Amino acid sequence: MAPGLAALALAGCSPAGEDAAFPSRAIEIVSWATPGGPTDLLSRALAEAAPPHFDGRRVTVMTRQGGAGAAGMQYLQGREGDPHVLGVFTASGTVNMATGRIPFSPGDFTPILRIQIDPFLVAVRDDSPFHTLGDLFEAAHARPGEVSVSGFGAASAHFLGFARLRAAADDPDVRWIAYEGSADAVVAALGGHTDAAHTNYNIVREHLRAGTMRVLGVALPVEALPETPSYAEQGYDLTPVHWRGVVGPPGLDPALRADLRARLTAAIEDPGFREYMEQAALEYATMADADAFGVWMAEEVATSRDMLRRLGILDE
């Protein structure tokens, strides 16, 4: 059905009939992430779990990649007021807003529900001389430019997560070696090409279990890593995390927004979805309400922008 018709149907409904009108057709989740990657998997797991909570309507994932996510976001932004189109927003999205790589701001979407966080961590190969973050940074202070950390992307969420950690350690000259993906960055550390990798728990989980890698520090205490001290416990007062949550198009009616939040909250409690969260080693992190999620997104953009200015990547 044409989007215009859906809008017409909504507009034509009396306020009392509004609840009955939604959902009036299938729900679309626009995915601008790499197929098979963590964000794409979240979209698909959600599409699996959602239908019973959306009156049995079909929920489909629609791929629209390109322009660092801008192609999919533009599509979502163009569906103003339509509660049938959703997207999964992530830390990469807010960083791309901060760098100006994508021409959007959090206000262009309606935040609905943050779902999960994926804390950053710093891992080394088992035979590394480093045992704490302090070891790594001390070595970098002693030998500027000779200690390297591999991670996903340049001016990316990973890059800024590590930049903030480094800033808290008095800016030692650690060389950031950017890779095309988080797994590639882990291979570089595993192969001894870099001294450490900045990544997420689920990427190195099997190597930690097998003892081929160790974690120097994790941004937030992770249940699965009770022995590993967090950044804060090592004296670095910050908690950079990767996060993912659902947003809608701009101009969503407050009642519909609350309705969507309730339905999605129920969907992510589904046993199938819980199992996915466990398998992927992710933590639930829904916030008090949808507005808090919006504030969080705006703060993420602001924090990233400050860091980019401090590093001289962004002027103004």
The residues binding other proteins (CB under 8 A) are: 34-37, 40-41, 44-45, 47-48, 61-68, 70-72, 99, 101-103, 145-146, 148, 153-156, 159, 175, 177-181, 183-184, 186-188, 190-194, 202-203, 205-207, 209-210, 212, 275-276, 279-280, 313
Q: Which is nearer to other proteins, 112 or 190 (CB)?
A: 190
Whole-angstrom Cα distance, residue 79 to residue 247? 12
Category of 251 on φ-ψ map: left (φ > 0), alpha (ψ -120 to 50) or beta = left
DSSP 108: G
The nearest distance, CB 164 to other proteins, in angstroms, is 16
How many residues can be counted in the chain? 316
CA distances to 177, 196, 197 from 189, rounded to whole Å, are 11, 5, 6
Q: Which is nearer to other proteins, 7 or 178 (CB)?
A: 178
The nearest distance, CB 65 to other proteins, in angstroms, is 4
DSSP string, 180-245: SSHHHHHHHHHTTSSSEEEEEHHHHHHHHHHTSEEEEEESS--TT-TTSPBTGGGT-----EEEEE
The nearest distance, CB 7 to other proteins, in angstroms, is 22
CA distances to 60, 140, 163, 170, 302 from 313, rounded to whole Å, are 38, 22, 12, 19, 14
Q: Which is nearer to other proteins, 10 or 95 (CB)?
A: 95
Q: Which is nearer to other proteins, 82 or 257 (CB)?
A: 82
The nearest distance, CB 148 to other proteins, in angstroms, is 6
Category of 145 on φ-ψ map: left (φ > 0), alpha (ψ -120 to 50) or beta = left
Q: Which is nearer to other proteins, 93 or 294 (CB)?
A: 93
Q: Which is nearer to other proteins, 114 or 158 (CB)?
A: 158
CB 218 within 8 A of CB 231: yes
The nearest distance, CB 17 to other proteins, in angstroms, is 33
The nearest distance, CB 311 to other proteins, in angstroms, is 11
